[in-house]
Structures are given as structure tokens and as C-alpha cells.
Amino acid sequence: MDEPLPNDPPQPDRTGHEGRRVVRRIFMVYDAKTGWLSAVKDSMMKVVGSGCSLCFVTHGLAGKRKETRELEKELDGTPLEYRHIDELEDLEIRLGAPVPKPSVLVELDDDDVVVLMDAPAIARLRTLVEHVGASENSADREQASLRGALKFYLAAKGIASPFDPVPV
């Protein structure tokens, strides 16, 4: 890499986030297979209160929850991919281990893939969504949301959140 000349302006931080790694892509990994039959089965499991916890958090009986659609818009360019247990081979190769199911993984700007939320973390989020999600208190709703959980786990791992503006 060329050394800057003495009069060159300082170069911006590579990440734009004070040296922290930046999320390039988010993967939602469901503990379910692809296909309409699996979707019907998962909807039935929701009725009886079991099934994939991440499916419950992101989808209702008839499709994506309003909060999930809002999250997708708020990510503003950060791709959000939904994966099922029969679509994980490339992620397992990159992770170097079996992908936990369900889980949330992030691909970072240095090409690293990191487990952000594992099955127990998602199970706790599901419990919050079930019990606090209908609250009128906006702070409670933020805590009991996928958005709130993503922000919390990103901060805990020192990863810049796609929800935060890039410092100028």
C-alpha cells in the first residue's frame, strides 16, 4: 500500500465505525426445511406453541410479521437472507462447523462469518416476543423485538450495527 504524501488528507477509517468490524450480510437460519409443505407444518406447530423459535419471531401464521418487514426496510441495503436447514452447506464451510439451528449469523466486512445469536438466545427472544410483544410501552417492545436483539448482540460482540449511522 502506498504511503500517503504529507499533504494528503487523512484517510477515513476502513470500516467507518471507529475500527469495529461491519456487518455485510445477515443470515436468519431456520430450524425447518424449505418448501410449502414445511411452511404449512411450521404454521401448524405455531398454533400448538412449538416449532422453530426463529420462525415464530419472524413470521406469523400467514407470512412475515410486520416487525420483520420493518426490519428489512430499516437495514437499508444490508442484505438479509433467510436460510433453511437444507441450504447451509456454504455457511458451514465458511464457519468451519455445523451451523446452529435456529440461529442468526452475520458476514462481516473481513469475510468472517460469526454466530450472532444461537438457539438459546433465540428461544429467550421468542419468550420475550410472546409475553412482552403486545406491550404498549415502546421500550418493552424494542427489547422484545428481533431488531432490539440484533442491536444488543452486535454491541456485545463489538460489531458495528447496520442500524447506526456511519460516523462522518
Specify the CATH number for the domain of residue 138.
Answer: 3.40.30
Mean pLDDT of the chain: 79
Judge whether 39 and 63 are in contact, CB under 8 Å: no
Residue 6 lies in a domain: no
Residue 12 lies in a domain: no
Q: What pTM value is reported for the model?
A: 0.77
Domain that holds residue 65: 21-160
**Cα gap 37→41, rounded to integer Å:** 6
Judge whether 93 and 75 are in contact, CB under 8 Å: no
pLDDT in tens, 30-67: 988 777 776 666 656 665 666 788 988 888 777 888 88
**Cα gap 154→148, rounded to integer Å:** 10
**pLDDT confidence of residue 28:** 94
Residue 57 lies in a domain: yes
Domain total of the chain: 1
pLDDT exceeds cutoff 80 at 82: yes
